[in-house]
Amino acid sequence: MASEVDNLISDFSRFYILTILYEKPAHGYSIISKFRKRLEREISPSLVYPFLKQLEQKGLVKHTVKPVGEKERKVFELTEEGRELCTKLFKRFANLISVAIEPSLEICAHCGCKVYEGGYHEAIDGKETTFCCKHCAAAYKQEKNLVGKTLR
Ligand SMILES: [Zn+2]
C-alpha cells in the first residue's frame, strides 16, 4: 500500500516536471528548486535526472550545454513532440478534474475531450469504453489493435 502511494506521488512529480519544462527550458537544478518552491515538497535528484534521461531517449526532450554562473550545465527543453505530448496530457488532466467535479461528465478514451451526454459507447476488451464519436472509437481500436462491440 505504501508503495502505491509512493508511485502515485512520483507519477505526480513527473507530471509536474513536465509542466516546468513546458514553461521554459531549465537545467536540472532549476527544475528541482522550482518544484520545491512551488509545491513545498522535496524531490529527489534521483527521480529528476533519470526521468529527464528517459524523456531524452524517447525524443521528447533535448539538452544543450550552457554556462550558468561559473559552471556549465545541461539545459533541458521539450522537443516539438514533447510539447505535443504535454498539451495532450494537460488537456486530459484538466478534463479528469472536470469529471471529478461533475460526475455526469465522461471523457473520450481516444482524444480526451469532454463527453457531456450521449457520446458513443463500446465494450472493448469486456470493458465499457466511452468515446465522443464513433470515429474516435475506430481510431482507438486501430491504435491498440482491439475489436469492440457497440453498446449505445
Ligand atoms: Zn474523441
For 51-102, give the DSSP string: HHHHHHHTTSEEEEEEEETTEEEEEEEE-HHHHHHHHHHHHHHHHHHHHHHS
CA 100 to centroid of ligand 1, rounded, Å:
19
- Report CA(21)–ligand 1 centroid distance (Å): 27
Q: Across residues 79-102, what is the average pLDDT? A: 88
Is 87 a residue whose pLDDT tops 70? yes
Average pLDDT over residues 43-50: 94
Whether the predicted pLDDT of 102 surpasses 60: yes
- 8 A C-beta contact, residue 3 and residue 13: no
Cα separation, 95 vs 106, in Å, equals 9
Between the CA of 91 and the centroid of ligand 1 the distance, in Å, is 12
Q: How far is the CA of 138 from the centre of ligand 1 (A)?
A: 10
Dist CA 26 CA 41 (whole Å): 19
Which 3 state secondary structure label does DSSP give 4?
Answer: helix
User: Cell numbers of 112, please?
Assistant: 480526451
**pTM for this entry:** 0.69
What is the CA(96)–ligand 1 centre distance, in A?
A: 14
Q: How far is the CA of 134 from the centre of ligand 1 (A)?
A: 8
Task: Quote the ligand 1 centre to 102 CA distance (angstroms).
Answer: 18
**Has residue 124 got a pLDDT over 80?**
yes
The neighbourhood of ligand 1, an ion, using CB within 5 A, equals: 108, 110-111, 132, 136
- Beta-carbon contacts of 82 under 8 Å, excluding residues fewer than 6 positions away, are 21, 55, 59, 60, 61
**What's the rounded mean pLDDT across residues 112-131?**
89
**Cell digits of residue 78:** 521539450
Indicate the CATH number of 2-83 among 3.30.479.30, 1.10.10.10, 3.30.300.180, 2.30.30.40.
1.10.10.10
- Outline which parts of the chain fall under CATH 1.10.10.10: 2-83
